[in-house]
Amino acid sequence: MRDRLRCARDGVGDGQLFDGFYKCEYQAGEVVGRSVMYVHAGRMLGGNSAFAHVGSYEAVGDEIIGRVAGQRHAVDRRFKTLYGNDDDEVVIRGRAEGNTWRFEGAPTQAPGAVLRSVMTRLDEESMPAAGIVGDGGIVNGLYSVHIRMLDGVDGGLTGVMLLHDGRMLGGDAFFYYLGAYSSANGRWKGEILNQEHTPAKGDPIFGGHEVGIGFSGSCDEAGAEWEATALAGKRSMRLKATLTLLHRA
């Protein structure tokens, strides 16, 4: 997916390219949140610890105009819906400002309300080389991912993960993931680098660390599982993850 990550549509406005991988910070009324988003060739795929975000966009002059819908994948009272609707769709319009994009929009079910969002590009240079995907390998798409600690350790993460032809990226409200995998015959294995895009001071396990994760497990057309060893500083931990396919890509 490296070529796709670097490939973009024609320049927008002053030459800033929209396609890429971003962290998103948004506010809609009293709801404030963060997520990650990958945009490429007219599609927007991303999310955070409780929601997947799926949409489309087009360049019109020096603006980007898009439509993004939410889909809840985890029940968590800490993450509020936008204007009370889990699956509401937001129409957004925005322009580049330096290395960020600023958007305003309105949910289709509440056209008088206003959502404001800032998208800041994330570094993709540390992404490893793509793995090989053969027959019976994991399906390209956007997945929810639920990670829990093993060996009696409390804690875990939920987020989203985009898999495409041997490369992966994803994240949540505090972290983003870059990785690579190989898969065939209902099995897969790979490596992930978990990094903060926003300080996660309340997370005693992953906060403040770049976490390397090597994993292996099983997969089918609906999702996947893996077990892994994660290295956070000098600490080694075992994890287990469940991935559920939300949208093919």
Model confidence pLDDT, tens digit, residues 176-186: 999 999 999 99
Q: Which of the four pLDDT bands, split at 50, 70 and 90, describes residue 191?
A: very high
pLDDT attached to residue 113: 79
In a domain, 73, yes or no: yes
Residues in the chain: 249
The reply to whether 129 falls in a domain is no
- Domain membership of residue 130 (yes or no) is no
Query: What domain range is 199 assigned to?
Result: 141-248
Do residue 17 and residue 103 come from a single domain?
Answer: yes
Could you give the CA distance from residue 154 to residue 237 in angstroms, rounded to a whole number?
A: 11
pLDDT at 244: 97
17, pLDDT greater than 70: yes
Once rounded to an integer, what is the mean pLDDT over residues 225-240?
Answer: 90
Q: Is it the case that residue 74 has pLDDT exceeding 80? A: yes
**Residue pLDDT, tens place only, 141-160:** 999 999 999 988 888 889 99
Please give the mean pLDDT across all residues of the chain: 87
Cβ atoms within 10 Å, residue 149: 16
Q: Specify whether 95 is located in the same domain as 188.
A: no
Question: What is the reported pLDDT for 28?
Answer: 82
| pLDDT score, position 79 | 66
Average pLDDT for 73-82: 70
The angle subtended at Cα 149 by Cα 191 and Cα 124, nearest 5°, is: 30
Q: Is the pLDDT of residue 73 over 80?
A: yes
pLDDT at 7 over 60: no
Residues 147 and 233 in one domain: yes
The CA distance from 219 to 50, in Å, is 22
> Are residues 52 and 94 part of one domain?
yes
What percent of the chain shows pLDDT beyond 70? 88
pLDDT digits (tens, 9 = 90+) for 30-45: 788 899 999 999 999 9
Is 34 domain-assigned? yes
The distance of Cα 114 from the centroid of its chain, to the nearest Å, equals: 23
Q: What is the pLDDT of residue 155?
A: 80
Specify whether 227 is located in the same domain as 161.
yes
What CATH number does residue 235 fall under?
2.40.128.380
Q: Are residues 50 and 152 in the same domain?
A: no
pLDDT at position 100, please? Answer: 93
The answer on pLDDT for 61 being more than 60 is yes
Do 114 and 53 share a structural domain?
A: yes
pLDDT at 171: 94
Question: Residue 241: CB partners within 8 Å, gap ≥ 6?
Answer: 145, 146, 147, 148, 215, 217, 225, 226, 227, 228
Query: pLDDT tens digits for 86-123?
Result: 677 889 999 999 889 999 998 777 777 788 999 999 97
> What is the pLDDT, as a whole number, of residue 85?
64
Q: Are residues 222 and 172 in the same domain?
A: yes
110 and 10, same domain (yes or no): yes
**pLDDT of 137 strictly over 60:** yes
Q: Is residue 28 part of a domain?
A: yes
**What is the total count of domains within the chain?**
2
pLDDT at 206 over 60: yes
Would you say residue 185 lies in a domain? yes
Residue 181 and residue 149 share a domain? yes
In a shared domain, residues 55 and 165: no
Looking at the domain assignment, is residue 128 inside a domain? no
Same domain, 12 and 105: yes
